[in-house]
Structure 1
């Protein structure tokens, strides 16, 4: 059985460890969405920071749109589990009084159809498999939204696991061991970049 059910993995909680032991929070949460390209960015980004708060904007594929991240200091990843209305309320509360484009971006946030909320967290486990259960992607080794790589790590992990499981005569235990041995250095490097990203955004 493969657990690939995200950072709050039920499989991981039932077989490996509770969330409190596996999930490391870096003191940073925030929202992401897209809106009009207010700054006229062209394949460039803009970062605004003040103690405990940050805004990052980036425009690439569509010159009329920009991706926005509003980040703020937080003390728990539990904010991720709230509904959108409560996440928006908390974001407005934490970003209140900020200057620059923040008031306008908070208005844009409410109208966004691609709203997402996440905290800067990583998943750390001594082992990614137990018995006949193995973890993939964020469930086993989230690198933190401050670096991304969630989809890449999941796809590379799935391919690596499948390749080892397909080895002639190799049982699942050896396949799981080989999968983790091959992938862990890559994950470790991405997690270090994720921690650096959290520090850069003020966590």
Structure 2
């Protein structure tokens, strides 16, 4: 039975582990965090990715925790409503569609619960070195003894450790899209009832949506910026940068700035895509954001992760131990789908891609090769 080490315990990694078990392989998932990560924005499951969730047996559970937005308002910099819609929101698209919007932490929790009984999880640890030899890959960990696996998969996000160890520094693969995004939790100070607010003020803007039965908000704050210097990429510096930019807003800036200052789930990173000519090297391959991050601007990161996990496991199962053949088939099947979905992020700078483009991209692959 082939052993596969998966780096990353978010969505892509555990989803891959599920499908690898179905194909008779033995996965191990290593995750830096002490447990499934909480926090994060609402994410979309669209098109073919819904079929993947259905085949996992999770569609009913996921549908049960979907967001229940009634619509959205667009505000001017002073907080006055200039547009409203009860048909669609910027975060999820049409409200009467089949696609599902769900909090990232809910999906992470469900996929982990679905796999934890027959998948080995190594929480609170990370890979520090990989050394490939003829019959396997020796992996060093930060806290655990070294082990050897048949294959290694990097499903560890935009700043993938596996990608850095196997392919080198991330800079050649990172394509900055000219902005940064911060996500954090706040009190529901406007008293929103399943209703989103969106505001833009110069080169900054935000969307806020109520979650957890309207008991709290998730704030997604974006600001235009090229790549930041190293000293501003540290977590503390990023937080202070966001706090300062929020504080300058004319509508509710002080309240949002204080929420960002104290939020335990504060997140901020560049809006960027990962573009690589090859996702595999030897016995190592990449999955999801680690290999082909489309950026949150596409709305398709979660769907690419879920579909990529299904296709990679299918290719490994079909290849019967021949990882070279499996990886070639994985890239051949996934690359057109990835290209179409990454294009959504750049089709309409400053706004969403067209419904027609989203429909083509989200359904642009067959699960049955």
SS of residue matched to 2:175: strand
Greater Cα offset, 40-49 or 120-129 = 40-49
Is 1:178–2:329 an aligned residue pair? yes
Alpha-carbon distance, 1:80 to partner: 8.1
Q: CA deviation at 1:174?
A: 1.7
Q: How far is the alpha carbon of 1:81 from its aligned partner?
A: 4.2
1: CA distance, partners of 2:321 / 2:304? 23
Match of 2:257 in 1: 106
2:215 is equivalent to residue 49 of structure 1: no
The offset of 1:38, in angstroms, is 2.4
| Counterpart for residue 164 of structure 2 | 13
Q: Higher RCO, 1 or 2 (CA under 8 Å, sep at least 6)?
A: 1
> Partners in 1 of 2:256 and 2:270 — Cα distance?
19
In structure 2, relative to structure 1, the CA distance for the partners of 1:151 and 1:81 (3 Å cut) is: farther
What's 2:280 paired with?
129
Matched, 1:28 2:179: yes
Change (3 A) 1:126 1:150: same
Gaps of 5+ in 1: none
Change (3 A) 1:51 1:192: same
Give, in whole Å, the separation in 1 of the partners of 2:312 and 2:306: 10
Quote the RMSD (CA, aligned, Å).
Answer: 2.4
234, 246, 251: which is aligned to 1:82?
A: 234
Which structure dedicates a bigger proportion of its chain to helix?
A: 1
Q: CA deviation at 1:182?
A: 1.8
Contact 1:8 1:139 survives alignment (8 Å): yes
Partner Cα separation in structure 2 for residue 117 and residue 137 of structure 1? 19
TM-score with structure 1 length normalisation?
Answer: 0.85
Mark the runs of 5 or more structure 2 residues left unpaired by the alignment.
1-151, 353-369
* Structure 1 pair 62–193 and aligned structure 2 pair: CA distance change class (3 A): farther
